């Protein structure tokens, strides 16, 4: 039986990078007889222009009925002033909520070939292998909000952060299980010296951890965690945190690997999962054909691993990416003299040739 992959390119570089990842998936599909079927659907600003909403019902339903979703990126200056509930970013938030994707996995591994690209010294960054487990459908992203109101004579806006015990339980459980297959260490990140939601987060995490005596639980305040990621990233195994802190820390951690264009992610829930690079639509380079497609290609590998249980095919993609880098191919975000300057197409070809 065939497996249906719904592809949602989105805006900006979204089309370019998902084209690359689909080409790679097609090649491994042929090689390993995976029988993958692809169906493309609009979302983001492109969908807003097309049908007046960033997340058409047909796109959400197709995603819900798929075996897995491959997502590019949404957003761009063209839509920065549309009504807040119709912003392109609502597409990715709506898909996450609509698919119940509570666990966002963002693995940060620094490839040996890229150690020298890190803004950090080689001896600090070498050996970094962190998995950020970000809660994805709660917290301040989804709390009540007010765009504008008059309060005591002044205009104000507010966003409400809230977390319930079951929401924290399930994400911490997820992190504990993930760590069991890794190095048995979980760092929970919060701001419990200030925030009530963080104090609930910390209490709940401690209770969950009692069930996992083999796992070392460490708690860090988010400000300290941001610093620790820069001074000693290899101390971390699994980091578990809320929606907003996870968003910010993962961009910081991404640059350890040299470029945000390298970092894939998987968003997991009860049924269909979604795979996307952690970067955005990169409006500054959109349409130039120079975006780094590797984060999306590596997201496609995660799709095979987690949604389709095709471990061999997933490893094949990851190795093909490593080889292309070892052969010296570099998109402009990672280019240095002495290497092969590659645009999106050339980099994709290099990966395809190694499959
Ligand atoms: P961004 O990640 O799009 O870009 C930040 C910087 O990284 C830019 O200089 C960009 O050129 C570079 N970059 C990003 N991806 C790259 C790639 N694959 N190859 C080479 N360089 C790359 O973040 P931003 O500029 O803050 O946001 C732009 C738009 O994207 C906004 O509308 C934002 O809301 C949206 N966004 C969407 C998602 C998503 O769809 N999941 C994620 C983040 C941001
Ligand atoms: C990400 C993005 C999104 C987020 C935006 C586009 C809603 O920054 O996937 O990291 O904040 O989650
Ligand atoms: Mn982000």
Q: What digits encode the pLDDT tens for the residues 205-253? A: 999 999 999 999 999 999 999 999 999 999 999 999 999 999 999 999 9
The whole-number pLDDT of residue 236 equals: 98
In angstroms, what is the span from residue 14 Cα to ligand 1's centroid?
10
Q: What is the CATH number of the domain that holds 178?
A: 3.40.718.10
Look at residue 251 and tell me if it is in a domain. yes
Pocket residues: Cβ below 6 A from ligand 2: 75, 89, 92-93, 247, 278
Task: Indicate whether 278 and 244 sit together in one domain.
Answer: no
Specify the 3-state DSSP secondary structure of 269. coil
Tokens of 317: 């993609």
Catalytic residue among 67, 237, 247, 333: 247
238 and 169 co-located in one domain: yes
Question: Does residue 240 sit in the same domain as residue 291?
Answer: no
Give the residue whose CA is nearest to atom 5 of ligand 2: 89
Judge whether 110 lies within some domain: no
Distance 73 CA to ligand 2 centre (A): 9
Do 246 and 166 fall into the same domain?
A: yes
Tell me the residue range of the domain where 161 lies. 119-257
Residues 55 and 101 in one domain: yes
Residue finishing a domain among 241, 257, 273? 257
Domain shared by 139 and 234, yes or no? yes
Task: Tell me the DSSP string of 299-321.
Answer: HHHHHHHHTS--HHHHHHHHHHH
User: In this structure, are 126 and 252 located in the same domain?
Assistant: yes
Q: What is the pLDDT of residue 212?
A: 98
Residue 292 phi/psi, 5° resolution?
A: -75, 115
Query: Which protein residue's CA is at the shortest distance from atom 27 of ligand 1?
Result: 280
- Spell out the residues 6+ positions from residue 229 whose beta carbon is closer than 8 angstroms to its own: 130, 236, 249, 252, 253, 256
Task: Give domain status of residue 170, yes or no.
Answer: yes
- Looking at the structure, tell me whether residues 230 and 337 fall in a common domain: no
Predicted local confidence at residue 115, as pLDDT: 87
Kindly give the number of the ligand 1 atom that is closest to the alpha carbon of 77.
32
**Taking 90 as the threshold, does the pLDDT of residue 63 lie above it?**
yes
Mark whether 231 and 313 lie in a shared domain. Answer: no
Task: State the complex-level ipTM.
Answer: 0.98
Number of domains in the chain: 2
Residue 275 lies in a domain: yes
Q: Is the pLDDT of residue 258 over 90?
A: no
- Given 257, 279, 314, the domain boundary residue is 257
The pLDDT tens digits for 169-197 are 999 999 999 999 999 999 999 999 999 99
User: Is position 52 within any domain?
Assistant: yes
Q: How far is CA 204 from CA 19, 211, 240, in A?
A: 42, 12, 13
Tell me if 100 sits within 8 A of 259, measured CB to CB: no
Q: Nearest-5° angle of CA 242, CA 246, CA 249?
A: 145
Both 291 and 329 in one domain: the answer is yes
Q: Are residues 129 and 15 in the same domain?
A: no
pLDDT at residue 117, as a whole number: 85
Pairing, β 103-109 against β 68-73: unpaired
| Residue 139 Rama label (left phi>0; alpha psi -120 to 50; beta) | left
Residue 113 lies in a domain: no
Q: How far apart are CA 268 and CA 222, in angstroms?
A: 24
Q: Where are the alpha helices (DSSP H) in 157-293?
A: 165-180, 196-210, 222-231, 243-254
The tokens for 100 are 């119940």
Cβ proximity of 67 and 101 under 8 Å: no
Active site residue 251: yes
Q: Which residue has the tokens 């070392």?
A: 216
Is residue 83 part of an annotated ligand binding site? yes
- The answer to the question of residue 114 being in a domain is no
- Note whether 281 and 316 are same-domain residues: yes
Of all residues in the chain, what percent carry a pLDDT higher than 70?
100
Among 257, 275, 310, identify where a domain stops: 257
The pair phi, psi for residue 36, each rounded to 5°, is -85, 140
247 as an active site residue: the answer is yes
Q: Which residues surround ligand 1 with Cβ inside 6 Å?
A: 13, 73-76, 89, 92, 260-261, 276, 279-285, 291-292, 295, 333
Q: What is the pLDDT of residue 180?
A: 97
- 111 lies in some domain: no
> Are the beta carbons of 85 and 47 closer than 8 angstroms?
no
């Amino acid at each position: 039986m065939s497996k249906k992959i719904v592809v949602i390119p989105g805006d900006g570089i979204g089309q370019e990078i998902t084209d690359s990842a689909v080409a790679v998936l097609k090649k491994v599909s042929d090689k390993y007889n995976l029988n993958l079927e692809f169906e493309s659907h609009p979302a983001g600003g492109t969908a807003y222009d097309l049908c007046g909403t960033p997340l058409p019902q047909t796109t959400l339903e197709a995603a819900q009925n798929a075996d897995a979703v491959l997502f590019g990126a949404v957003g761009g200056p063209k839509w920065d002033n549309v009504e807040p509930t119709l912003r392109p970013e609502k597409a990715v938030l709506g898909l996450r909520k609509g698919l119940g994707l509570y666990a966002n996995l963002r693995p940060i591994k620094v490839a040996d070939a890229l150690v020298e690209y890190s803004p950090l010294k080689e001896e600090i960054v070498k050996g970094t292998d962190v998995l950020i487990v970000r809660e994805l459908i709660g917290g301040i992203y989804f709390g009540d909000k007010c765009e504008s109101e008059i309060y005591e004579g002044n205009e104000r806006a507010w966003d409400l952060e809230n977390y319930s015990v079951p929401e924290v339980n399930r994400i911490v459980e997820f992190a504990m299980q993930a760590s069991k297959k890794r190095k048995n260490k979980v760092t929970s990140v919060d701001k419990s010296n200030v925030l009530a939601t963080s104090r609930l987060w910390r209490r709940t995490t401690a209770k969950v951890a009692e069930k996992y005596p083999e796992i070392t639980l460490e708690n860090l305040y988010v400000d300290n965690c941001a610093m620790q990621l820069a001074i000693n990233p290899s101390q971390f195994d699994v980091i578990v945190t809320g929606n907003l802190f996870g968003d910010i820390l993962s961009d910081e951690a991404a640059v350890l690997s040299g470029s945000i264009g390298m970092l894939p992610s998987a968003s997991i829930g009860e049924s269909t999962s979604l795979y996307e690079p952690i970067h955005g639509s990169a409006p500054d380079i959109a349409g130039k054909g120079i975006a780094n497609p590797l984060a999306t290609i590596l997201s496609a590998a995660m799709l095979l691993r987690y949604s389709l249980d095709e471990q061999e095919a997933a490893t094949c993609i990851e190795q093909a990416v490593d080889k292309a880098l070892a052969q010296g191919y570099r998109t402009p975000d990672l280019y240095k003299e002495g290497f092969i300057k590659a645009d999106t197409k050339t980099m994709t070809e290099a990966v395809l040739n190694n499959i």
